[in-house]
Amino acid sequence: MKFRSMLAALAVLVLGAAQAQEPIRIGSFLAVTGGAAFLGDPEQKTLELYVERLNAAGGVLGRKLQLIVYDSAGDAEKARTFAKRLIEQDKVDVIVGGSTTGETMAMVPLVEAAGVPFISLAGAVVIVEPVKKWVFKTPHSDRQACERIFVDMKARGATKVALISGAGGFDKSMRAQCLQVAKNHGIEIVADEAYGTGDTDMTAQLTKIKNTPGVQAVLNVGFGQSPAIVTKNHKQLGISQPLYQSHGVASKAFIKLAGDAAEGVRLPAAALLVAETLPDSDPQKKVVLGYKREYEARFKSEISTFGGHAWDGLMLAVEAIRKAGSTDKAKVRDALESIRGFVGIDGVFNMSATDHVGLDISGLRMLEIRKGDWTLVK
Amino acid sequence: MSAQFLQFLLAGLTVGAIYALVALGFSIIYNASQVINFAQGEFVMIGGMCTVWLANAGWPLPAAIAAAVLVAAAVGLALEKLAVEPARGASVVTLIIITIGASILLRGLATIVWDKNIHPLKAFSGEAPIQLGGATLLPQSLWVLGVTVVIVLLLSWFFGRTLLGKALLATSHNRLAAQLVGINVRHVLLASFGLSAALGAVAGILVAPITFTAWDVGVMLGLKGFAAAILGGMGSGPGAVLGGLVLGIVEAMGAGYVSSAYKDAIAFVIILAVLFFLPSGLLGRRSSDRV
Amino acid sequence: MSGRTASLATLAGIVLLLPLALQNNYYYEVAIQVGLNAIVCVGLNLLIGYAGQISLGHAGFFGLGAYGSAILTARYGWPPLAALASATAGVAVLAYLIGRPILRLRGHYLAMATLGMGIIISIVIATEDRLTGGPDGMPVPALAAFGAALSGERVWYWVVGATLLAAVWLALNLVDSPHGRALRALHGSEVGAEVTGIDSARHKVKVFVISAVYAALAGSLTAHYAGFVTPAKVTFFHSIELVTMVVFGGMASTFGAVVGAAVLTVLPQALTVFKEYEMVVFGAVMMLTMIFMPRGLVPTLALTLSGRRLPR
């Protein structure tokens, strides 16, 4: 019986490792491969780095941390199976993970039924609205990103906006949110174009936008290589209206990919990207600078805000466990909900019974790309 | 209006030329072995990634390109030698599954040997857009179109004038007969894998400055190349080129004039419609069954 | 046929005894997924293994079943069983309408056409987000029958197990019926079969519809079981995965389809120990198995064990 022996072998492996001592088990599933690998990869590295550091510093509540990560490849179905594995098999105390919204939403019913505190690293607002008892998340919601962008557009006198978005979950959710909140900010969406995942050329869509009368700004919602292609096409076509990107491209890789075409592009992002240039009075400066230096020294690669989401997730979990004084799941959940003034990478977290993100729009800084680097828009 | 049309056309031609190169790779292997090589897209990836890697290591671009094409060709030869040849006599579906396994293996290796990041490649001759009747074109698009034309000419010379090319063609028409007249079918098979791997790599390198490259770019390009090869008629060289260009243009026009969200669906509806009326594609051989 | 009864009895025995080895709900989860994939593969094997017609679009039928159920229950408040039945029936009608023109195509052209069909379905599902929730998917109400909701892995295990047994039983009967013999004749030589008076188009369409129904039913069950459905399972990759399971286990072997589904569902779970080498190992296992067992696991093993030539 191939099936049985395989599972048995697996059980021996997992149980064998667990019996050495009784560590605090942190479960995670991330899109380490697949189309969202650029999210899952830094997230995994961050979790591994900081679990190691916390253990080196004596662990939490005198117990070591044990990290269990599975690669969901961004597939919701796989994520759900791994979530079950984390809950049933690995018996984790808390789950920090879910690179994408699809993965997160597919496992929400499981954690709600099992009663395990879960901190998601995905963006869409549906994760926390309506509030779910056991579900929290660290990145700003896509709606907040839309609002931040619209505020900036309005300040520059642009009210007629052309939207272009990808076909992924992140893209479509944020597009819907932007369409919804546009009116509140006096913004009119005059064009709404789309492109497919893996598309190699968006000049057709952008030509349509170019020929739409009255456009004052262009907003691209998406992540991966597509926004960089949009940026290049935007320049190639000589579109004069300013281009905005979402927080989905908030890594140096985007500037490297888009090259000169990225000059003048604006996007909302966490303070992490401009860590060095933050004023010393900024409460986040110490935290973000510390994370940036440690990550870059260890992995010799540029920081991205995605890894920052994982830092926040892990540290919020640790903070909650410390506050609760145990790994009792209900106590940890209550502690999570009562976290106030916690300075993280994405901003200062003020959780409450009605807000399971706890971030306000001020944590999102408006950045402009100048001379191949991020600069803070004053 | 006509400037807009021209812009769509230029976009479609550039993308279509890449599809055509990938489709040619499919057709060459198909002709020699009746195998649909689902790892064809991985050759595209290897070409792009290897060039970027070598260029970043300080190699001059032409040397990096040449080396990347050779690496891809070597992988193609290894694939034939280690996976396809030992499975000789297996059914076509089995061979297809082997190539799917190979594509997963190669993608996995790429994430280990290189990484999971997306990489840019410097355009061969600058990024200043060229104005053309109200539309714009990147210099790299000219490279794509130009190299595609050169490759098509080279291939037609190869198949029409050289001994190996003729042997490849003969094998595709009738394997047994080819063997009887003294063609070493095994060498032909090996050559076909090497050649189409090299072609795929060229496509991957040409397109990298426009669309970047990453460990998984081969998936989408492989799929579109397969669609193009079928649309044109599997096994037909001119068909592969025509199929690629038509597919690229249909996508661009679909995105421009109909619906950008549904442009891929539009392309596939058109392919289905073509197959409905021409069951062997646009230029495919009309074959009859041997009973 | 004693061989038929014996293999069905073996499968029933495994389904009955397996829970002894399932220590917790995670194991049940994997077992249920094996069962659901196996149902699709048993149907697909009728098409690929027996009729010799390839399909790279069955994830589309699976998805239509799943989303049909999801939309009818969640958006229109239908009772789940009615939704499941209607979704499956709807897919049958669609497969019949598509099957006629598509099955005129041969070999790789058929592969392309089915692939295109699957991709069109997946694009529509991912794009029509007001109805389907888009790429992030949508929640699906639990399956309820006679006032009681089916929930929990242990209940679902028996539902899926029983459905799988019924699916296998039907498939085995079909293969041994005159229709099945006609199919195998088609696989041998279509022209030859027609000369002997077999209406090849009718038989091909029939088996195409049956395999689509298997896929849609499994899709519906998956949606209700998981409580959530995303377009990931409707993609071209899932279609390829399904065909791989069939070929891996052994074409023209109903038992092989089940084994193929089991191995390729469990393998990724077992390979997580390889971390970043997971993809490499998975690809290598696939290649090596097909190179050294080109007829698939079950037929090759049966051949080795019995030491005699395998009957077709």
Facing residue for A76 by CB, picked from C18, C230, C270: C230
* Domain range annotation of chain B: 2-277
Residue B288 has pLDDT above 80, yes or no: no
Facing residue for B105 by CB, picked from C113, C287, C290: C287
Q: Identify whether the C-beta of residue A70 lies closer than 8 Å to the C-beta of residue C272.
A: yes
pLDDT at A17: 47
The answer to whether residue A196 neighbours chain B at the CB level (below 8 Å) is yes
pLDDT at B75: 97
Facing residue for A76 by CB, picked from C34, C137, C262: C137
Cα A92 to Cα C73: distance, rounded to the nearest angstrom: 34
The answer to whether residue A216 neighbours chain B at the CB level (below 8 Å) is no
The architecture CATH gives domain B2-277 = Orthogonal Bundle (1.10)
Using a CB-CB cut-off of 8 Å, the residues of chain B touching C101 are 276
With CB atoms and an 8 Å threshold, state whether C116 touches B86: no
Question: Residue C212 belongs to what domain range?
Answer: 2-245+252-272
Q: Which one, of B139, B154, B262, B238, lies nearest residue B199 by Cα? A: B154
Question: Within 10 Å of residue B260's Cβ, how many Cβ atoms?
Answer: 24
Q: Which one, of B216, B226, B245, lies nearest residue B15 by Cα? A: B245
Alpha helix ranges (H) inside A100-195: 101-114, 142-155, 169-181
Distance from CA of C309 to the nearest CA of A (A): 24
With CB atoms and an 8 Å threshold, state whether B289 touches C120: no
Sign of the Cα pseudo-torsion (C14, C17, C23, C24, in order): positive
With CB atoms and an 8 Å threshold, state whether C287 touches B102: yes
Q: Identify whether the C-beta of residue C32 lies closer than 8 Å to the C-beta of residue C26.
A: no
pLDDT at A1: 43
Q: Which of A232, A237, A302 best probes binding to B when mutated, by most B CB atoms within 10 angstroms? A: A232
Facing residue for B272 by CB, picked from C113, C284, C295: C113
The answer to whether residue C301 neighbours chain A at the CB level (below 8 Å) is no
Task: With respect to residue C296, please indicate whether it lies within any of the assigned structural domains.
Answer: no
C-alpha to C-alpha distances, C219 to C15, C130, C244, nearest whole angstrom: 20, 20, 18
Q: Which CATH number goes with the domain that contains C27? A: 1.10.3470
pLDDT at C305: 81
pLDDT at C312: 43
Which of the four pLDDT bands, split at 50, 70 and 90, describes residue B287?
Answer: low
Cα C300 to Cα C36: distance, rounded to the nearest angstrom: 24
Domains with residue ranges and CATH for chain A: 23-140+289-361 (3.40.50.2300), 142-247 (3.40.50.2300)
With CB atoms and an 8 Å threshold, state whether A102 touches C263: no
E-only strand ranges, chain B: 130-132, 135-137
Kind of pairing between the strands at C138-139 and C228-229: antiparallel
Task: With respect to residue C311, please indicate whether it lies within any of the assigned structural domains.
Answer: no
Distance from CA of C195 to the nearest CA of A (A): 45
Residues of chain C predicted below pLDDT 70: 1-2, 307-312
Q: In a structure prediction context, what are the per-residue pLDDT tens digits for chain A, which is 378 residues long?
A: 455 555 555 555 555 444 445 899 999 999 988 778 888 999 999 999 999 999 999 999 999 999 999 999 888 888 999 999 999 999 999 999 999 888 898 889 889 989 999 999 998 888 998 999 999 999 999 999 999 999 999 999 999 999 999 988 888 889 999 999 999 999 999 999 999 877 888 998 999 999 999 999 999 998 888 999 999 999 999 999 999 999 988 888 899 999 999 999 999 998 898 888 888 988 999 999 999 999 999 998 888 889 999 999 999 999 999 999 999 999 999 999 999 999 999 999 999 999 999 998 888 899 999 999 999 987
- For chain B, percent helix, then strand, then coil, each to nearest 5? 75, 5, 25
Beta partners for residue A26, in sequence order: A67, A94
Which of the four pLDDT bands, split at 50, 70 and 90, describes residue B89?
Answer: confident
Beta partners for residue A70, in sequence order: A29
pLDDT at C200: 80
Q: Identify whether the C-beta of residue A257 lies closer than 8 Å to the C-beta of residue A225.
A: yes
Chains touching C, CB cut-off 8 Å, 3+ pairs = A, B
pLDDT at A11: 55
Task: With respect to residue C300, please indicate whether it lies within any of the assigned structural domains.
Answer: no
Cα–Cα–Cα angle for A19, C34, C45, rounded to 5 degrees: 155
- Identity (one letter) of the amino acid at C202? R
With tokens 């996007």, the residue in question is A267
pLDDT at B157: 93
Task: With respect to residue C166, please indicate whether it lies within any of the assigned structural domains.
Answer: yes
Encoded tokens for A329: 């799941």
Task: With respect to residue C222, please indicate whether it lies within any of the assigned structural domains.
Answer: yes
% of chain B residues with pLDDT over 70: 98
Cα C167 to Cα A23: distance, rounded to the nearest angstrom: 46
Task: With respect to residue C192, please indicate whether it lies within any of the assigned structural domains.
Answer: yes
With CB atoms and an 8 Å threshold, state whether A81 touches C33: yes
| ipTM of model over 0.90 | no
With CB atoms and an 8 Å threshold, state whether C294 touches B87: yes
Using a CB-CB cut-off of 8 Å, the residues of chain C touching B260 are none
Question: Within 10 Å of residue A136's Cβ, how many Cβ atoms?
Answer: 27
Q: Which of B211, B258, B268 best probes binding to A when mutated, by most A CB atoms within 10 angstroms? A: B211
Facing residue for B212 by CB, picked from A195, A228, A301: A228
Using a CB-CB cut-off of 8 Å, the residues of chain A touching B116 are 32-33, 37-38, 41
Q: What is the pTM of this model?
A: 0.89
In chain C, how many domains are there?
Answer: 1
**Looking at chain A, which residue has its C-alpha nearest residue B223?**
A198
Sequence-ordered list of residues with C-beta below 8 angstroms from that of A363, at least 6 positions apart, any chain:
A140, A270, A271, A284, A346, A347, A348
Distance from CA of A198 to the nearest CA of B (A): 6
Buried b (16+ CB within 10 A) or exposed e, A328-345: ebebbbebbbebeebbbb
Sequence-ordered list of residues with C-beta below 8 angstroms from that of B125, at least 6 positions apart, any chain:
B139, B140, B143
Task: With respect to residue C299, please indicate whether it lies within any of the assigned structural domains.
Answer: no
- Identity (one letter) of the amino acid at B131? Q
pLDDT at C236: 87
pLDDT at C232: 87
The answer to whether residue A105 neighbours chain C at the CB level (below 8 Å) is yes
Facing residue for A38 by CB, picked from B116, B260, B264: B116
pLDDT at B90: 84
**Residue range B160-170: average pLDDT?**
87
Cα A268 to Cα A148: distance, rounded to the nearest angstrom: 7
With tokens 């069950």, the residue in question is C221
Facing residue for B263 by CB, picked from A32, A196, A256: A196
- Identity (one letter) of the amino acid at C299? P
pLDDT at B289: 45
